[in-house]
Amino acid sequence: MRTPFVVGNWKLNKTISDALALVTELKNQLAAIKGVAVGVAPPFTAIAAVAKRLEGSPIATCAQDCYWEANGAWTGEVSAPLLADAGATWAIVGHSERRQYFGDTNEGVGKKARAAIAAGLGAIVCVGESLAERDGGKTLEVVDAQLAGALGAGLDAGKLVIAYEPVWAIGTGRTATPAQAQEVHAHIRKRLGEKLGAAAAAGIRIQYGGSVKPQNAEALMAEPDIDGALVGGASLEAGDFVAIVKAARGPSALAHAKGLG
């Protein structure tokens, strides 16, 4: 009942022409894909060109961040309405690299999520613990604080996606096991239910992120509360990303592929 959502987070990679080459390949290779939603998050400089190239394709253009003010004297920032104007339909907020290197706080991430949704974008809110926090038994506590910051008043659950990304798994080649990820995903869904109601929580997609590869994608996404992936390194090239998207297809897509539905 939840359509999995696989998003490629390109981080600080790709010129406009490199970005266009990759999305053209993705658009062709994924033209007939069913049962999974797909997005790419280029750097800000390539968003408008990518969104234009993806016109007529179900692949969504996402931003890697957004600021919560709409406009004004905020040198260097990009707001949600400007991203929507450039053709983005989603914004990732609270990525661990933003939290770790650029000072994003739980409260700021909540403001960004609400600003994205107010501008008509969907918000992908990232949460996840560091290795020290996991080793210290604090994983669920950290995720709770991050969720509490993000899930304030005025949030439209229909536009919300959560990405659980253990920091120790990002870019390290170390992935959470499906069971480790499922434990946290189930906890997140429980908390979403307490804050937004059980029906809303049942409909919210929770992506896993952190060294997702074609080799581990299927096992991760077979878990009941893992509804897609936020993919960094393996999204920079079409072959691996397409393989991950295919691994995420829901049961209706598989039936369709087999000619059963």
Asked about 165 being catalytic, the answer comes back as yes
**Cα separation of 190 and 203, whole Å?**
12
Residue nearest to ligand PGA (CB): 232
Per CB under 6 A, 129 contacts ligand PGA:
no
At closest approach, how far in Å is the CB of 250 from ligand PGA? Answer: 22
At closest approach, how far in Å is the CB of 239 from ligand PGA? Answer: 15
b/e code 178-189 from CB counts within 10 Å (16+ = b): beebbbbbebbb
Per CB under 6 A, 207 contacts ligand PGA:
no
**Hey, which residues between 80 and 119 contact ligand PGA (CB under 6 A)?**
none
DSSP run (H or E) holding 248: none
Region of residue 67 (left: phi > 0; alpha: psi -120 to 50; beta: else): beta
Asked about 95 being catalytic, the answer comes back as yes
The CA-atom distances, in angstroms, between 50 and each of 11, 15, 63, 246, 258 are 15, 11, 11, 22, 32
The catalytic position among 97, 129, 133, 165 is 165
CB of 82 or CB of 167, closer to ligand PGA: 167
At closest approach, how far in Å is the CB of 232 from ligand PGA? Answer: 2
* Identity at 60, one-letter amino acid code: A
Per CB under 6 A, 210 contacts ligand PGA:
yes
Per CB under 6 A, 209 contacts ligand PGA:
yes
CB-based contacts of 101, cutoff 8 Å, min separation 6: none
CB of 104 or CB of 165, closer to ligand PGA: 165
Q: Site for ligand PGA (CB under 6 A): which residue of 181, 231, 242, 244?
A: 231
Contact criterion met (CB below 8 Å) for 236 and 242? no
CB of 67 or CB of 164, closer to ligand PGA: 164
SS3 78: coil
Q: Taking every pair of C-alpha atoms in the chain, what is the biggest distance, in angstroms? A: 56
> What positions carry a catalytic annotation?
95, 165
Provide the binding-site residues for ligand PGA, judged by CB under 6 A. 9, 165, 170-171, 209-212, 230-234
